[in-house]
Amino acid sequence: MYESDAQWREVDYFADTLVPEDEALAAARLSGHLTTMPSAEVAPNQGRLLALLAQMAGAKRVLEFGTLAGYSTIWLARAVGEQGHVTTLEVAEPNAAVARVNLERAGVLERVDVVVGPAAASAQRLVDDGAEPFAFVFIDADKPNNPAYLATSLALSAASVACWATSLRIRGWRRPPSRPWARRAGTASRSSVVALDARTHCHRWPTAQGRRGSEPHSPHALVSASAA
């Protein structure tokens, strides 16, 4: 667990003020210790941003790589609304089991499919089965597979997709050498170099994952892309 810098804790102060968690979200976050990756969920402010982005994209169908305890899944499932649908891909059944309990408590289990298995294979199966297009994708599973997940996400969207990937390394990005957190993030994503093609527009930024998360300055990339 990191002790985050004072300036990032100040960001957390605003997050606490602007992003109230209800009981179901707090319970999902706290249940992280029952999973294979405790404290690896997005922070509340990131969950809120994910939901806002999905809503701004008008997404009714969302795809997520990496479920864990379902914390980000709850934010996304609420964003798509009662008529919407979230498909979330998770390799570890014990994590999926924890997530299902959390999703049920949050009242969104009916609009979520938790698909257990390696995400690359699960996503390819969606392609092969001709799944309906997804308008928003959140990539937050094993980082070395980020480029493959991004490519499959493009194949799974009809016209355009807004895609948020954690620790996505963009060609040309250089980490500040003085920052240990950046070194860590760089290591996590070393094999995730993405050569963005003409279809994509990318913005990459560090976010405060805050005192609750294990990566206080996890770098994120927002990719908007045309699939055509």
Ligand X SMILES: C[S@@+](CC[C@H](N)C(=O)[O-])C[C@H]1O[C@@H](n2cnc3c(N)ncnc32)[C@H](O)[C@@H]1O
The site for ligand X (CB under 6 A) is made up of 36-37, 40-42, 66-68, 71-72, 89-92, 95, 118-119, 140-142
- Residue whose CB is less far from ligand X, 97 or 227: 97
Cβ distance 192 to 168 under 8 Å? Answer: yes
Q: Which two tokens stand for residue 18?
A: 């602007």
Q: Residue 31 Cβ, how far from ligand X at the closest point, in Å? A: 10
Closest alpha carbon to 67 in 24, 4, 117: 117
Q: Residue 167 Cβ, how far from ligand X at the closest point, in Å? A: 9
**3-class SS at 90?**
strand
Q: Residue 149 Cβ, how far from ligand X at the closest point, in Å? A: 9
- Residue whose CB is less far from ligand X, 11 or 74: 74
- Residue whose CB is less far from ligand X, 8 or 164: 164
Residue type, 37: M
- Residue whose CB is less far from ligand X, 67 or 200: 67
Q: Residue 3 Cβ, how far from ligand X at the closest point, in Å? A: 20
Cβ distance 204 to 163 under 8 Å? Answer: no
- Residue whose CB is less far from ligand X, 57 or 96: 96
Nearest-angstrom CA–CA distance, 4 and 7:
8
- Residue whose CB is less far from ligand X, 36 or 226: 36
CA–CA distances in Å: residue 44 to residues 11, 36, 114: 12, 20, 21
Nearest-angstrom CA–CA distance, 105 and 99:
10
In degrees rounded to 5, what are phi and psi of residue 226?
-100, 130
Q: Is 56 exposed, middle or buried (0-12, 13-18, 19+ CB in 10 A)?
A: exposed
Four-residue CA torsion sign, 44, 137, 194, 188: positive
Q: Residue 40 Cβ, how far from ligand X at the closest point, in Å? A: 4
Q: Residue 227 Cβ, how far from ligand X at the closest point, in Å? A: 22
- Residue whose CB is less far from ligand X, 66 or 147: 66
Q: Residue 126 Cβ, how far from ligand X at the closest point, in Å? A: 13
19: number of Cβ within 10 Å: 18
